[in-house]
Amino acid sequence: QVQLVESGGGLVQPGGSLKLSCAVRGTRFSAATMGWYRQIPGNERRELVASITSGGTADYAASLRGRFAISGDNTKDTVYLQMNDLKPEDTAIYYCYIRRRVTPTFHYWGQGTQVTVSS
């Protein structure tokens, strides 16, 4: 059974930093994409934060590029999201995912980790 284990969320003051981790268990981070979406309070939809392929190609939401950085460690089947200069509007539940579009295909989500930016 595939599981995504997230860690690193919490409370931080505006301007501070947090680093999220997401480790996949039960499959390998190979020929796949991992990343984060977030759901801001009051919004029904999740929005893409950042993603990275197992080959190392990263992508970001345009509004977050420059403050957030995603990286991956294929040997640990883990991806990291470094979040800098955090703002109150970054407050959200951050959900990790893994998606594979070649056989065998799959798409799994983590349980979510809360990030709160407040003074």
pLDDT digits (tens, 9 = 90+) for 94-108: 999 999 999 989 999
The tens digit of pLDDT for each residue in 41-78 reads 899 999 999 999 999 999 999 999 999 999 999 999 99
pLDDT of 35: 97
Would you say 76 and 52 are in contact if contact means Cβ atoms under 8 Å apart?
Answer: no
Would you say 36 and 30 are in contact if contact means Cβ atoms under 8 Å apart?
Answer: no
User: Residue 113: which pLDDT band, with cuts at 50, 70 and 90?
Assistant: very high
Q: What is the mean pLDDT of the chain?
A: 96
Would you say 34 and 52 are in contact if contact means Cβ atoms under 8 Å apart?
Answer: yes
